[in-house]
Amino acid sequence: MKRFWNSAATSEQPGGFGVVLDGRPVRLPGGAPLVVDRAPLAEAIAGEWSAAGGGAKGGEMSMNDMPLTRLVGTAQERIAPDPSAMVEGLARYAESDLLCYRAEDPQLAARQALEWQPLLDWAALQHDAPLRVTEGIMPIPQEGTAVAALRAAIATRNALELAALGVLVPALGSLVLGLAVVEGRLEAAEAHRLAILDETYQEEFWGLDAEAAERRARIAEDIAVVARLLALARPA
| CATH code: domain of residue 23 | 3.30.2180.10
The answer as to whether 1 is a domain residue is no
pLDDT reported for residue 204: 87
Mean pLDDT by 10 residues, the chain (236 residues): 93 94 95 96 97 91 93 97 98 97 96 98 98 93 98 98 98 98 97 96 86 94 98 88
Q: Are residues 97 and 70 in the same domain?
A: no
Q: Are residues 127 and 210 in the same domain?
A: yes
pLDDT reported for residue 180: 98
Q: Are residues 26 and 75 in the same domain?
A: yes
The answer as to whether 123 is a domain residue is yes
Residue type, 24: R
pLDDT reported for residue 113: 97
The answer as to whether 2 is a domain residue is no
Q: Are residues 111 and 198 in the same domain?
A: yes
Going by their DSSP bridges, the two strands 134-135 and 101-102 should be labelled as: parallel
Number of domains in the chain: 2
pTM exceeds cut of 0.85:
yes
To 5 degrees, how large is the angle CA 93–CA 94–CA 100?
Answer: 105
Q: Are residues 95 and 211 in the same domain?
A: yes
Q: Are residues 95 and 74 in the same domain?
A: no
Instruction: Name the DSSP letter for residue 17.
Output: E
- In sequence order, what are the beta bridge partners of 151? none
In 161-218, beta strands by DSSP E: none
Residues 167 and 222 sit within 8 Å (Cβ to Cβ) = yes
The answer as to whether 30 is a domain residue is yes
Q: Are residues 122 and 69 in the same domain?
A: no
The CATH number of the domain where 175 resides is what? 1.10.3580.10
Closest CA relative to residue 125, chosen from 95, 90, 100, 149: 149
Domain range for 137: 84-233
The answer as to whether 138 is a domain residue is yes
d(CA 200, CA 165): 24
Residues 66 and 49 sit within 8 Å (Cβ to Cβ) = yes
Q: Are residues 75 and 88 in the same domain?
A: no
Phi, psi of 60 (to 5 degrees): -75, 140
